[in-house]
Amino acid sequence: MWKKQILKMQTYKRGKSINEAAERSKTDLLIKLNSNENPYGYSNKVKDLLTERQIPLNIYPEGNVGHLRKSLASLYNMNETEFIFSNGTDELIQMISRTLLEPGKNTVMASQTFSQYKNNSIIDGAEIREVELLNGTHDLEKMITKIDQNTAVVWVCNPNNPTGTFIPENKIREFMQKIPSHVLVVLDEAYFEYINQAYHSIDLINDFANLIIMRTFSKIYGLASLRIGYGIASHHIIQHLESIRLPFTNNQYGQHAASLALEDQAFIESSRLKNVIEREKYYTFCSENNLHCFPSETNFILVDLQCDIERLEAFLESSGIILRSGTGLGFPTSIRITIGLEEQNIKVREKILEFMQNHHQN
Ligand SMILES: *Cc1c(COP(=O)(O)O)cnc(C)c1O
């Protein structure tokens, strides 16, 4: 009795965890740069929470996520009713798909983008219309041509994972102006805080009632393990999504930690700036070694090594370095590297060069 779309599916190939990698690697000096987590950790304010505050675990968490909701509303100067919270943005993607997609509807997305849009669309039985990236960026013009009266959702990942490329605000605005009002546009901004250019996408929410922006505490805020994601949209959209939200999506530690993390914007700023400096060194590395990489506005970089990535992965793993192979990301000769700490990045570049010199001379 299994749904037929489930039978065709493969389970999501997530980045290896530290434990999985440690089992395979011969060293215990692991450098985990495969899931775009913040290498600098998280705010010290959150560290105090974990040791000092007793949270009664027998009590259900606050279903309304009230305190964090207030803090975010004031940070962004939006109404509290314009937010929805989820167990990571992964869950919000699922909620959007579940409320809007079904057989007979279609959904438009880039063909090399975050895999959860497609996975959820398959599960909910919608037709998937994929549009190839253009130079690593969403081909917004072409995406518009795929929209018809049965299109329910268009996904735009900005900056895009796995390429790291960024669409400027004016391009998003022009795009929104051409989208029919029955289509929900989902703007996934998991890396928003890393963007190093003027970008105020939140302003678009006031102008477009069919836009939802997704953000997360998993990336620059360094709280991936606590699963706090959220959406910002007009009250009308939020209401529909709320109707299917599980009663208690965010645990109490996560809610407290996110509120505290939000107060420490100095940590966010320092993470962002260090990331820019370290990212620059990868650009230099790429140009010195004639390797293609896309310009990134995130804490990762997709480098085309023109080699057998599986072999490179095995070689790196034996040195305790875990990166994300491009094989499962639609870039079979590339590797996605999370930009880590200075000394980690030095080691990564060293090992990549070593592999290329020993295994890949032509
Ligand atoms: C990491 C990531 C997410 C998921 O983040 P969570 O909030 O941890 O679920 C969503 N979208 C993109 C593009 C990501 O890279």
The pLDDT of residue 21 is above 90: no
Tokens of 26: 């011969």
Predicted pLDDT of residue 9: 82
In terms of C-beta density within 10 A (0-12 exposed, 13-18 middle, 19 or more buried), how is residue 212 classed?
Answer: buried
What average pLDDT score do residues 247-271 get? 96
Distance from the alpha carbon of residue 36 to the mean position of ligand 1, in angstroms: 9
Q: What is the mean pLDDT of residues 241-266?
A: 96
pTM recorded for the entire structure: 0.95
**Per-residue confidence (pLDDT) for residue 26, from 0 to 100:** 64
pLDDT band per the 50, 70, 90 thresholds, residue 361: low
Q: Which of 35, 87, 114 to mutate to test the pocket of ligand 1 (most atoms within 8 A of CB)?
A: 114
pLDDT tens-digit readout, 261-310: 999 999 999 999 999 999 999 999 999 999 999 999 999 999 999 999 99
Q: Is the pLDDT of residue 28 over 70?
A: no
The stretch 240-257 carries a mean pLDDT of: 96
Q: Per-residue pLDDT for 360 more than 60?
A: no
> At a CB cut-off of 8 Å and minimum separation 6, what does 240 contact?
99
Mean pLDDT score across all residues of the chain? 94
* 72 SS3 class: helix
pLDDT of 60 above 80: yes
Number of alpha carbons in the 13 Å side-chain half-sphere of residue 114 = 26
Question: 286 alpha carbon to ligand 1 midpoint, in Å?
Answer: 26
Q: What is the pLDDT of residue 49?
A: 84
Nearest Cα residue to 255 out of 68, 63, 48, 75: 68
Q: 296: Cβ below 6 Å to ligand 1? A: no
Tell me the CA–centroid distance for residue 28 and ligand 1, in Å.
27
Residue with token string 């590297």? 337
CA atoms of 92 and 13, how far apart (whole Å): 19
pLDDT in tens, 340-358: 999 999 999 999 999 999 8
Quick check: 362 pLDDT over 60?
no
Nearest CA to ligand 1 atom 1: 190
Q: Is the CB of 90 under 6 A from ligand 1?
A: yes
pLDDT above 70 covers a percentage of the chain that reads 97
Element (H, E) at 302: strand 300-304
Could you report how far apart the first and last alpha carbons of the chain are, in Å? 53
